[in-house]
Chains A and B, each alone.
Chain A
Amino acid sequence: MSGLLKVSSNPHVRARMKTDNIMLLVLIALLPASFFGVWNFGLRSLAVLAVSVASAVLTEYIYEKLMHKKITIGDFSAAVTGLLLGLNLPSTVPLWLPVIGTVFAILFVKQLFGGLGQNFMNPALAGRCFLLLSFAGRMTDFTWDGISGATPLAALKAGNPVRVLDLFLGKTAGTIGETSVVAILIGAVVLLWFEVIDLRIPGSYLLSFAVCTLLFGGHGLDFGFLLAELCGGGLMLGAFFMATDYVTSPITKNGQIVYGIALGILTAVFRFLGSAAEGVSYAIIIGNLLVPVIEKVTEPTAFGREPFWKRGKKA
């Protein structure tokens, strides 16, 4: 033994999963939905996704370079934001639109608040909502099979029938990544399998939304309507890929369930009481704002200690 030994505090081993592995898995899990989107909406949507990812990564790189910060594009989080935003755009948008969206998402929502881990809102969704407000026309121009038409949810809201099977498979109009429930679920299984996410948030979200739909959807116990609401719009993509964003969801386990329930209620409020047919994006970013409060009231009780609400009363 000749060399010097390394000394550090315990523990001396680490689990395999690292931040970049997690982000890479999310990217992989988004591939089925991306491929389906490209197949469904044509090569034009591939260009939208590519521009979106590239500009997100580039924005992060340029900002960090200019600010003399450590370049963190290697953790793939910017790529995830870019891809998620791209999947939330209609395939018909001009290619400068995803650039504006990702610059807003990465620069204003993520980096200016301190970079990865510090943003208080999901950057991709904040970017999408920013675009929705600024370019409402272009953002809701859903063309499918050469026809510009209503999304299934809008049709549903107008009282027209929709085919649930088409919604499940994804053969409908909508944003690039949200239409195919099957493709999204394949990705979700990947995330669940590798324990990147668990069912607390998506499960409680979907369940609370289903209950709200049955109670306040205006269709009573119409399960066809319920399934159409569950499969339509951005709900599945939102529940499995965006509500589960670590940074903007509660760290406490019970808090995650509370958060999921809140998202379900908010989504139902937007869909059934609002003027628009869709409300997942708004529900999630408003839910993001509730996270600090949720975390505060769901702090776990330390082993062998009094629950926090009794704390301070004694002694």
Chain B
Amino acid sequence: MLGHTFKGGIHPYDGKELSKDKAISSVLPKGELVYPLSQHIGAPAVPVVEKGEHVLVGQKIAEAGGFVSAPIHASVSGTVKGIEKRLTVTGNIADCIVIENDGKYEEVVWPERKPLDQMTPKEILEIVKEAGVVGMGGAGFPTHVKLSPKEPEKIDYVIANCAECEPYLTSDYRRMIENPELLVGGMKVLLRIFPHAKGVIAVEDNKKDAIEYLEEAAKDEPNIQVVALKTKYPQGAERMLIYAVTGRKLNSSMLPADVGCVVDNCDTVVSLYRAAVQGRPLMHRIVTVTGDAVQDPRNFSVCTGTSYRELLEAAGGLKTEPEKIISGGPMMGFGLYSLDVPVTKTSSALLCMTKDEVSRYEETACINCGRCVEACPEQLLPSRLADASVHHREAWFEQHNGLECCECGCCSYVCPARRPLTQYIKSMRKIILGKKKKK
């Protein structure tokens, strides 16, 4: 086949050794939990609880605001303090449901589920939709939408994205080591929806032990295969992953289903299992708390809505004064200016760095070295697109496929002139896409 990789990409310092051997432990939140109504792509969820109402663990507190949307469930029991504007990870101040935790963790009565082989795909999809499952790799695309392609019989690959190419992140890795059976179980749910498809669990080859565990867990499933991918960033980008596994290329305006693929992130697949087999909605996720400024880097199973500050305290607090705190990994994460933001369905990590190398650099002139061209997984000309962005040449930008950019950050990473190429391209994309939306 293709050596299971793609053209371009980079090999940044991966920092995974800080937290990779730390078993997942639970963090029980104290005080209030904050649930942003918009923690997925699509319409914000609509609250179905009122101020003062008592809620239980697993109770739906907001329902989907449309087809491309997802409901939200309480992860603790307690009282609704209100629906307020709160600071979220991206720096926006957005509507959030705030719940005061009573610390009792009283649960709703979990629904009984039929055995998997007796459920129809339609029933499973309904369950997934109601459970509020969204893509937990970062984008937060509602999973039931992804699982409802126009021609489901044409899907011949179901891929679990366990590449975890983003440096420092070890949440998916711990999941594969500790609960490979949940992952395989989730794959079986997916294969029930797409019976003609082949199941592939795609893992980067720097996680040899995870591959072994998964192969062991999937040994009785002839239709599920574990594929080792070359370790390279951004191997876990959806289009790169599909290419590495199947050799099929798709552009930014196509969906994976257009080439017969369905791709779900590792933790998302586990959530599918929890929803379809165990009857639990999505209300927990694994978050890696790491970085050289953290006392005791850890992997936590976290209730959504927990504040980042509590996670940091659970990891022993700070060892040194951090200069930069990032939600997510160093390549695609968001820089935070406050720790008082909640964990959402898409938060994968809290990364505290003693030194922010980026702010030390000053942008200098492009020397046309071509490193960005070599690194670009989309085979674009990043330095030229950045120039077009600086000079507001929108037509040129679009004509030269600037909209194909996946904002992976490889070009900025390699640039010896320290130009923030990704940022330039990103802002131009936002402008053009915004104008297109208006039309």
Set of chain B residues within 8 Å of A13, measured between Cβ atoms:
12-13, 167, 330-331, 357-358, 413
Interface mask (A1-32 → B, CB under 8 Å = 1, otherwise 0): 11111111111111101110110000000000
Any chain A CB within 8 A of the CB of B381?
yes
Do the beta carbons of B379 and A8 come within 8 Å of each other? no
**CB neighbors of B among A251-305 (8 A):** 251-253, 256, 299-305
Any chain B CB within 8 A of the CB of A148?
no
In the assembled complex, the CB of B156 is this many whole angstroms from the nearest CB of chain A, namely: 18
In the assembled complex, the CB of A68 is this many whole angstroms from the nearest CB of chain B, namely: 17
Query: Which B-chain residue is minimally distant from A200 (CB atoms)?
Result: B370
In the assembled complex, the CB of B311 is this many whole angstroms from the nearest CB of chain A, namely: 14
Any chain A CB within 8 A of the CB of B211?
no
Set of chain B residues within 8 Å of A1, measured between Cβ atoms:
318, 321-322, 339
**CB neighbors of A among B356-375 (8 A):** 356-359, 361, 364-371, 373-374
Do the beta carbons of B250 and A304 come within 8 Å of each other? yes
Q: Select one of B243, B318, B325, B373 contacting A300, CB under 8 A.
A: B373
Any chain A CB within 8 A of the CB of B17?
no
Any chain B CB within 8 A of the CB of A246?
yes
Do the beta carbons of B365 and A116 come within 8 Å of each other? yes
Q: Select one of A14, A247, A301, A303 contacting B413, CB under 8 A.
A: A14
Do the beta carbons of B407 and A18 come within 8 Å of each other? no
**CB within 8 Å for A14 and B418 given contacts A5-B324, A251-B368:** yes
Q: Select one of B239, B332, B415, B416 contacting A10, CB under 8 A.
A: B332
In the assembled complex, the CB of B322 is this many whole angstroms from the nearest CB of chain A, namely: 7
Do the beta carbons of A5 and B404 come within 8 Å of each other? no
Do the beta carbons of B332 and A302 come within 8 Å of each other? no
CA distance A11 to B326 in the complex (A): 10
Which of B31-39, B51-59, B297-305, B420-428 is the interface stretch? B420-428
**CB within 8 Å for A302 and B368 given contacts A1-B339, A12-B324:** no
Do the beta carbons of B383 and A251 come within 8 Å of each other? yes
Do the beta carbons of A303 and B337 come within 8 Å of each other? no
Q: Select one of A12, A250, A302 contacting B401, CB under 8 A.
A: A302
Do the beta carbons of A6 and B420 come within 8 Å of each other? no
In the assembled complex, the CB of A302 is this many whole angstroms from the nearest CB of chain B, namely: 4
Any chain A CB within 8 A of the CB of B27?
no
Query: Which B-chain residue is minimally distant from A306 (CB atoms)?
Result: B251
Do the beta carbons of A302 and B379 come within 8 Å of each other? yes
Do the beta carbons of A246 and B418 come within 8 Å of each other? no
Do the beta carbons of B364 and A302 come within 8 Å of each other? no
CA distance A118 to B399 in the complex (A): 23
Instruction: Beyond A13-B413, A303-B378, list 16 extra A-B contacts (CB 8 Å).
Output: A2-B321, A7-B324, A8-B335, A10-B422, A18-B361, A116-B367, A250-B370, A252-B370, A252-B373, A256-B370, A300-B380, A300-B381, A302-B251, A303-B7, A303-B243, A303-B377
Q: Which residues from chain A sit less than 8 Å from chain B, CB to CB?
A: 1-15, 17-19, 21-22, 72, 75, 77, 115-118, 246-253, 256, 299-305, 311
List of 9 A-B pairs having minimum Cβ-Cβ separation, nearest first: A11-B409, A304-B251, A302-B401, A7-B335, A117-B365, A9-B423, A304-B249, A246-B369, A300-B379
